[in-house]
Amino acid sequence: MNLSEYQEKARSTAIYHVGEDYDQNICMIYPGLGLVGECGEVAEKIKKLYRDDNGKLTDKRKEAIKKELGDCCWYLSNLCSDTDCDLQVCYEMKSSSQTQRVRLMEWPQLVLHMNRCAGMVAEALESWYYDYACRLGERSRFVAIAHNVTKILVCIEELAFRCDCTLEDVYALNIEKLLSRKERGKIKGDGDDR
């Protein structure tokens, strides 16, 4: 499964864009909020890596990070769907210099970088949604979103590698979890293990 296929499957689990009160403008904000939250949760896991584990990555911590990375992928995917971007194309936009740069980062720097990029996505969405006077520049906002989606995917890929898996492992695990929740009627709610 490539990222385009993942995007399609992830969209089938998105319930925020369904219903008679569906407002595409407001719904575009939802995955932005979720992305910022999930990137923050990855940062929380890394913080605890140092606080609780003295910087030593345990198997339990790896699994927790992988779950949060999968949730980041889900929000990235639906953000791309809402802005008419292809997640696979965003991934293919990555450069070798971006990849090399994140490889050299220590854990805290890497998650701070990922969170900064999520903040840039949020800023572009905020500007697009709330700055009605600048609606003429919508396309440039989408380009900024796609550019930062690429950067976040590079960070997720590196974090996955450090957790002994691949980006594909992360999003495959995520979609398996979400499709299971959908089948069981447990899409809404809180907690990783519902």
Q: What are the pLDDT digits (tens) for 134-156?
A: 554 555 667 788 999 999 999 99
Per the listing, tokens 């909020």 go with: 33
Arithmetic mean of pLDDT over the chain: 89
Is 42 a residue whose pLDDT tops 90? Answer: yes
Query: Hey, what domains does the chain have and what are their CATH numbers?
Result: 3-183 (1.10.4010)
CA distance 152 to 39: 9
CA distance 133 to 88: 32
% of the chain surpassing 70 pLDDT: 87
pLDDT value of position 29: 85
Asked which of 34-38, 66-70, 124-128 is least confident by mean pLDDT, the reply is 124-128
Find the distance separating the first CA and the last CA of the chain, reported in whole Å. Answer: 25
pLDDT tens for each residue of 7-19: 999 999 998 866 6
Q: Which of 23-37, 120-134, 161-175 has the highest mean pLDDT?
A: 161-175
84 conformational bin, left if phi > 0, alpha if psi -120 to 50, beta if neither: left
Q: pTM of the full predicted structure? A: 0.90
Longest pairwise C-alpha distance within the chain: 50
Q: What's the sign of the alpha-carbon dihedral 124, 127, 132, 137?
A: negative
Q: Who wins on pLDDT, 132 or 31?
A: 31
pLDDT tens for each residue of 58-104: 999 999 999 999 999 999 999 999 888 999 999 999 999 999 999 99
Paired tokens of 6: 């993942």
Closest CA relative to residue 45, chosen from 139, 142, 110: 110
Q: What are the distances in angstroms from CA 101 to CA 31, 110, 114, 162?
A: 27, 10, 12, 15
